[in-house]
Structure 1
Amino acid sequence: MRIIPAIDIIDGKCVRLTKGDYNTKKIYNENPLEVAKEFEAAGIKYLHVVDLDGAKASEIINYKVLEQIATKTNLKIDFGGGLKSDKDLEIAFNSGANQITGGSIAVKNAPIFESWIKKYGSEKIILGADFYPDTTGGKIATNGWQEESSLELVPFITDYQQKGILYVICTDISKDGMLQGPSFDVYEEILSVRAQSRTNNDLSTALKETRPLKLIASGGISTFDELPKLVELGCEGVIIGKAIYENKISLKQLENFIISQ
């Protein structure tokens, strides 16, 4: 399982929010590059960068920070936040992103998101499935988590699997920044749909024929002991943010975890 620390950016600074609420902003470092270099020094190879200004503005804003990290480290960066147009995507890739994550765009403008999958391929385009939990399993959120759509989580993911999506970052917004543990049950449900498709004739033939989903868990990670549980469930990666910044999980622990795999 890949370890993917998160750097969220507002005004060019490394921040964290709670449940996506911009009013809860806490600045951890005014220089995101310093943070990225610390991660790299600990043997980490991947980084999740979110342009929170961009998510709110619906256009890429902090691409200069992305460019700085990409040119001054060897980290493989997935970048999201405000990517709404072909131009935004070009800026992100030209600034050094290895992958981009599309969430709101996948809900509000499916044709353009699908065109990105076809143009850049499933290794480059990640589906952002950020959700508010409810009795039906969760509703997909958009616009920097400021709005809730009518789309349900699991059908949203399986629909895009059939359209070629391979990587999915799934975030339970109610747990994000709360340090109370991730949504193990939700991740298990998402991954079980794939397993069921192999034996259940009622499930889509197209889904059976898709490549195995690479699910990246996000939101609520609070202790090191949660990581092996996510591995056991079959998660391909895990995004860790506040637990690192609040010293709940040390970089040394993550370094040892990476070495032991």
Structure 2
Amino acid sequence: MIIPSLDILDNNIVRLYQGNYKKIKFYDNNLFFLIEQYRLNGAKLLHLVDLNGSRDPKKRQIKFIDKVVKNINIPVQIGGGIRNIEDIESLLLSGVKRVVIGSIAINNREEVKKWFIKYSEKLVLAVDVFINDKNIKEVKINGWREKTNVDMIDLISEYVEHGMKYLLCTDIKKDGTFNGPNISLYKEIVKKFNNLLIQASGGVSCLKDIEEIKSTGVNDVIVGRALLENRFNLSEAISCWQKGSFLV
């Protein structure tokens, strides 16, 4: 499916360029009105990112996110600064459909494996990958600011063995650029992990990009900036996804 994405910083809708908090763009859309428009245009799931939490887990926008979840009519998956089982269970109790975890899956692997065993249907592993000139795919964490020297495939394989079902993969170099998605990356992941439910993220600029992502075999594509800046609307994107061909 097409999953609209909204990044929230200080209760505002924003976009970062490749995760850089110094390259930030604010949008003056009313958050609740925009979400309702997404619902009316066919959204079945909303992806929210708490950028305050991503930058500093102690500053998660807990009250605001809770307000959003309780006052909209779309299931939500949310990530940003999740660091313990209490964070996960609190969000699930508030009505969140799925919780996205990233940095903690590197920093506390044994604990996170237990979470996947317990909440396999409720957790999404977010893998933010930086691909260098030698095609080494390194996972980055903490708002993409910290290197890990962890290989993408190795990390995914480790959690698949412990019940992981949902994977969200973002090519950091593509995110927020309008330069098109990394098609070869998603083909590689689908071929290697054909039992995973995979969400592609980063680089979508036009309906043709959606057509190309669909061809990789991923289950979903997350679209943020392209919708905010009216490159196309959600109804067009959903139609493209369903038909497997882009609209002229």
- Name the SS for the 2:167 alignment partner: strand
Deviations along 1:61-87, whole A, 9 cap, x unmatched?
A: 123333233222221111100000122
| Other-structure match for 2:131 | 133
Q: Does 1:248 align with 2:246?
A: no
Contact 2:36 2:73 in 1 (8 A): no
Give matches, 1:164-183, under 5 Å.
164-183=163-182
| Other-structure match for 1:194 | 193
Q: Distance in 2 between matches of 1:158 and 1:231?
A: 23
| Other-structure match for 2:141 | 142
| Other-structure match for 2:199 | 216
Q: Distance in 2 between matches of 1:107 and 1:142?
A: 8
Q: Distance in 2 between matches of 1:97 and 1:15?
A: 21
> What is the letter of the counterpart of residue 133 of structure 1?
I
Contact 1:132 1:148 in 2 (8 A): no
Contact 1:5 1:46 in 2 (8 A): yes
Which runs of no fewer than 5 residues in structure 2 stay unpaired? none
Q: Distance in 2 between matches of 1:221 and 1:152?
A: 24
| Other-structure match for 2:106 | 107
> What is the letter of the counterpart of residue 123 of structure 1?
E
Q: Distance in 1 between matches of 2:202 and 2:12?
A: 20
| Other-structure match for 2:24 | 25
> What is the letter of the counterpart of residue 124 of structure 2?
I
| Other-structure match for 1:238 | 221
Q: Distance in 2 between matches of 1:86 and 1:158?
A: 22
Contact 2:207 2:240 in 1 (8 A): no
Structure 1 pair 30/124, CA: closer, same or farther in 2 (3 Å)? same
> What is the letter of the counterpart of residue 50 of structure 1?
V
Deviation at 1:5, TM superposition (A): 0.7
Q: Distance in 2 between matches of 1:14 and 1:127?
A: 23
| Other-structure match for 2:159 | 160
- Name the SS for the 1:180 alignment partner: coil
Deviations along 1:145-184, whole A, 9 cap, x unmatched?
A: 1111110111211221112111100000111000010110
Identity %: 32
Deviation at 1:245, TM superposition (A): 1.1
- Name the SS for the 1:130 alignment partner: strand
Deviations along 1:167-209, whole A, 9 cap, x unmatched?
A: 10000011100001011011111111236xxxxxxxxxxxxxx
Which runs of no fewer than 5 residues in structure 1 stay unpaired? 196-211
> What is the letter of the counterpart of residue 137 of structure 2?
G
TM normalised by structure 2 equals 0.92
Q: Distance in 2 between matches of 1:221 and 1:38?
A: 20
> What is the letter of the counterpart of residue 250 of structure 1?
N
Structure 1 pair 73/17, CA: closer, same or farther in 2 (3 Å)? same
Deviation at 1:260, TM superposition (A): 5.0
Deviation at 1:232, TM superposition (A): 1.8
Q: Distance in 1 between matches of 2:152 and 2:66?
A: 32
- Name the SS for the 1:225 alignment partner: helix
Q: Distance in 1 between matches of 2:229 and 2:5?
A: 13
> What is the letter of the counterpart of residue 113 of structure 1?
V
Contact 2:124 2:167 in 1 (8 A): yes
| Other-structure match for 1:123 | 121
Count, aligned residues:
243
Q: Distance in 1 between matches of 2:123 and 2:157?
A: 15
Contact 2:214 2:241 in 1 (8 A): no
- Name the SS for the 2:193 alignment partner: helix
Q: Distance in 2 between matches of 1:142 and 1:77?
A: 22
Structure 1 pair 111/188, CA: closer, same or farther in 2 (3 Å)? same
TM normalised by structure 1 equals 0.87
> What is the letter of the counterpart of residue 127 of structure 1?
L
Q: Distance in 2 between matches of 1:137 and 1:231?
A: 24
Question: Bigger CA drift: 91-100 or 59-68?
Answer: 59-68
| Cα-Cα RMSD | 1.7
Deviation at 1:139, TM superposition (A): 0.5
